[in-house]
Amino acid sequence: MPKCDVLVVGGGPAGMAAAVTASQLGLSVEMIEQRRTLGGAFFRQPIEGVRPIPQRASVKARWHKLSADMSRAPVRIHYGCVFLGVDSDGFVLFEDRQVGEVVRCAARAVIIATGAIEKVHPIPGWDRPGVSTAGGLQVMMKETGQAPKGRILLAGNGPLLIAAAAQMAMVGNPPVAIVESGDPMRPGLTGLGLLVAPYLLVEAFGFLRAVYGAGVPWLRGARIEGIEAHAQGLQATVVRRNGERSAFVVDRVGLHEGIRSNDMGLPAIADASTSSPIVIRAGDCSEPLGALAAEADGALAARKVAALLGHGQSRGGEQALLGRLRQAQAVLAKLFAPTIAPLDVPDHTTLCRCEGRTIGDLKNLVAGADLKSGREVKHNGRFSMGSCQGRFCAANTAELMTRLRPGAPPVVASDLTGQRWPLRPVSIAALVAATKVKAPVD
């Protein structure tokens, strides 16, 4: 049965770099990507005929190089294909949505590059229409070439909020304000640590200039407390460090508390030369360090796979770059450390949206004397049980469980999610029908 050497899952910078490098190292490579275009979150491509949102020359140059390398590499790309998992016989399963069937295919190695997701904290109203992640607004802007309509409030933590605000300003609809729990401008801090990655510093200055130029207030040391329905849209309440409250009436709210790996439900890493298949992760789904690091990590993953498959050792400059970017991320984390304590969140607040479970439901569930495990909270309380696989609630649930039970061992997100495939809901009928093994190489 013919099979490919490497199957790459995800066509963002990590997956693309992995595919290009693996094929340069002489391996046969196939890629599956759930969208109809490459680029991932950072390089989300504009649809045909629209003017792309303004980007720095260096970002454009990186995309040109990556996409040119990709189009030259003999990599077969299967678009509209959603990775589901690796079955007990070692076959990769994915749903080919263009054909409407689940495909079972063989690969000697799988490089998983499914990227990151944004962290969002539960606050009243986070589940209302008009409220999304800030990155969600940003990728839609990249796709359509247009700013989201109406009055927008961005709130949460970290540099992505500034980037999104700057891009909105550049396409003509700056947000009404950015609410930031950290305070990177506070005295005694310097961003000089970022000199390890001058690229990030230049980027940050560019974005800040655009934000200030558009007169967008950057409310530092502040948090969003809740979002309510209002006759003219949504009303968001913002609390400052000194306890002062203010209200914003807007059409949209973009929330963002940083990123974490999109690794829920992924098959376990198997990186021995005897593993069948070899499974490794690359880019933000392995360590959330951003697009530049993702690209380097993708190439590194390909080198690792090539060595494991007996195609020889090779070295690039990726390790050193990753080291510098890791340091830069640590500096950013320090710069953006929250300067305002978390706010109390009322019991009626939705914690797990898929299953409609609230903070109060969790409190009731863990109130008893018996110390429930993450698994029990999932199975008895249906937290993290729904179709998103706990991507957006498992960490919040784990954190709240830990806080509610001082003295008990801390709970982490993976206690709730476990390792479970398929990655996405798929009908049992389609899975059963997938007995047909399609060789990915023609």
Q: Which residues bind another protein (CB under 8 A)?
A: 34-37, 41, 47-50, 82, 97, 100, 115, 117-118, 127-133, 135-140, 143-144, 146, 148-149, 262, 350, 352-357, 386-388, 391-392, 424-427
- 252-291 mask for ligand FAD (x: CB under 6 A)? -------x-----------------------xxx----xx
We find the least distance from the C-beta atom of residue 128 to another protein, in angstroms, to be: 7
Q: Is 116 in the site for ligand FAD (CB under 6 A)?
A: yes
Q: Would you count residue 156 as binding ligand FAD (CB under 6 A)?
A: no
Nearest distance in Å: CB 40, ligand FAD: 2
| Lateral strand order in the sheet of 29-33 | 76-79, 29-33, 4-9, 107-112, 278-281
Q: Which CB sits closer to ligand FAD, 14 or 340?
A: 14
Work out whether 11 is an interface residue with ligand FAD (CB under 6 A).
Answer: yes
Inter-CA distances, 432 with 8, 85, 389, Å: 24, 14, 21
Q: Where are the beta strands (DSSP E) in 157-286?
A: 177-180, 218-220, 222-230, 233-240, 245-250, 252-256, 259-261, 278-281
CB-nearer residue toward ligand FAD: 291 or 359: 291
Binding track over 19-58 against ligand FAD, x by CB under 6 A: -------------xxxx----xxx----------------
Q: Which does 113 bind (CB under 5 to 8 A by kind): another protein, ligand FAD, none?
A: ligand FAD
Tokens encoding 362: 């969790």
d(CA 133, CA 218) in angstroms, rounded, equals: 18
CB 428, min distance to another protein, A: 9
Of the pair 176, 278, the CB lying nearest another protein is at 176
Residue whose CB is less far from ligand FAD, 159 or 182: 159
Q: Examine residue 336 and tell whether it contacts ligand FAD (CB under 6 A).
A: no
- CA–CA distance, 404 with 367 (Å, rounded to integer): 8
Element (H or E) spanning 333, and its range?
Answer: helix 318-335
Closest C-alpha to 59, from 39, 75, 77: 39
CA 295 to chain centre: 15
Q: At what angle do helices 359-366 and 374-381 cross, to 10 degrees?
A: 120
Pick from 132, 138, 237, 389: which binds ligand FAD (CB under 6 A)?
A: 138
Distance from chain centroid for Cα 382: 23
In the complex, least distance from residue 398 CB atom to ligand FAD, rounded to whole angstroms: 20
Binding partner of residue 10 among another protein, ligand FAD, none, CB under 5 to 8 Å per kind? ligand FAD
- In whole angstroms, give the CA distance from residue 3 to residue 382: 40
442 binds, among ligand FAD, another protein, none (CB under 5 to 8 A by kind): none
Cα(140)–Cα(148) distance, integer angstroms? 8
Q: Cβ(104)–Cβ(93) under 8 Å?
A: yes
Q: Which residues are at the interface with ligand FAD (CB under 6 A)?
A: 9-15, 32-35, 40-42, 82-83, 113-118, 135-136, 138-139, 160, 163, 259, 283-285, 290-291, 294, 423
